[in-house]
Amino acid sequence: MNIFVTGGAGFIGSHLCERLLLLGHDLIVLDNFNDFYDPAIKRRNFAEVAETARRLGRSLTLSEGDIRDSRFLEMTLGEGEPEAVIHLAAMAGVRPSIERPALYAEVNLGGTLNLLDASRAAGVRRILFASSSSVYGNSPTVPFAESDPVDTPISPYAATKKGGELLCHTWHHLYGISIACLRFFTVYGPRQRPDLAIHKFARMLSRGEPLPIYGDGSTSRDYTYVDDIIDGVIKALEWTGGDIPRYGIFNLGESRPVALRRLVSVLEEAMGMPAQRVELPMQIGDVELTFADLTKSASQLGYRPSTEIESGIARFVAWFREEQRRVPGAPE
């Protein structure tokens, strides 16, 4: 199958592209290599994807562009004629979205609308949309199920992801496109973005710097290893196949929340370094807990994550150390 992947040079995107190539698919990857974090990191990610494609003899095309450019999308999708679109590109992060809400709306809502309509014009019948567990906000009901109301987002980022799901439903209803919206829960692993907690903490530990702990360390996240996330994306891609158009929302998490204080302890053990901790007030927009109910994902997709936090952190630390050795300064 020929598949169009937006954000394919990023953390999750590069892992997904490698898995799709291994499964025998050909890819068109769109990325704008923006400076939200060092573009050189994303270019190294894509170089590894390109090497996988070369080794396997699969077709891989890179289109550098922006999802806000509707004409560019129409041309790229029209010429590429993909059978499926996997939309990962977005402005990410809760806290930055509070500082730049208009940009997040422009990219995550406007860009998603552009992609949906360009996909429709190109005759694409299968779309996956990367949503987020952020849409649940501080829901009092745990674990979080896809049927829970998500009408009270607490950050612009969360609001744009909920809006993206609504746009996807509209295009499914109007044009009969099969669409799966995937709510990712705190993904970690090799190539994780340098601004995210595990990567940031590993870097600070390696320098002997104190770790900023927002709150008392009791906040918990459903940390999900990237390989498990990719398993879920592949299963969702299969779910969108068939002659009858479908629309669904699915949680992709680990369903085993880990408290921040425990996460730091696991990271200390994996790195063999004690951490200094500095407690700071909770930050606006942060939620106290994320916890995925996987009942629907298990029954409809066959999604069953299997990576314990200790194992996943050990794999991340092995990658982190190799990256420090191979590319000095790369995790900055």
Active site residues: 157
Three-state DSSP class for residue 216: coil
Cα–Cα distance, 324 to 296 (Å, whole number): 40
Cα–Cα distance, 128 to 153 (Å, whole number): 22
Residue 302 in tokens:
């066959």
HSE (CB half, 13 Å, CA atoms) of 55?
9
Residue 295 in tokens:
């009942």
Q: 84-87 and 126-132 as β-strands: parallel, antiparallel, unpaired?
A: parallel
Amino acid at 46: F
- By the 8 A CB rule, do 221 and 266 touch? no
- By the 8 A CB rule, do 5 and 28 touch? yes
Q: Which residue has the tokens 């992947």?
A: 5
Q: What is the DSSP string of 22-62?
A: HTT-EEEEEE---TTS-HHHHHHHHHHHHHHHHHHT--EEE
Q: Which residue has the tokens 């550098």?
A: 64
- By the 8 A CB rule, do 42 and 8 touch? no
Nearest alpha-carbon partner for 105 in 146, 41, 143, 158: 158
Q: How far is CA 13 from CA 27, 138, 191, in A?
A: 12, 28, 10
Helices of type H across the chain = 11-22, 39-56, 70-80, 94-99, 101-104, 112-121, 156-175, 197-207, 226-239, 260-271, 295-296, 309-326
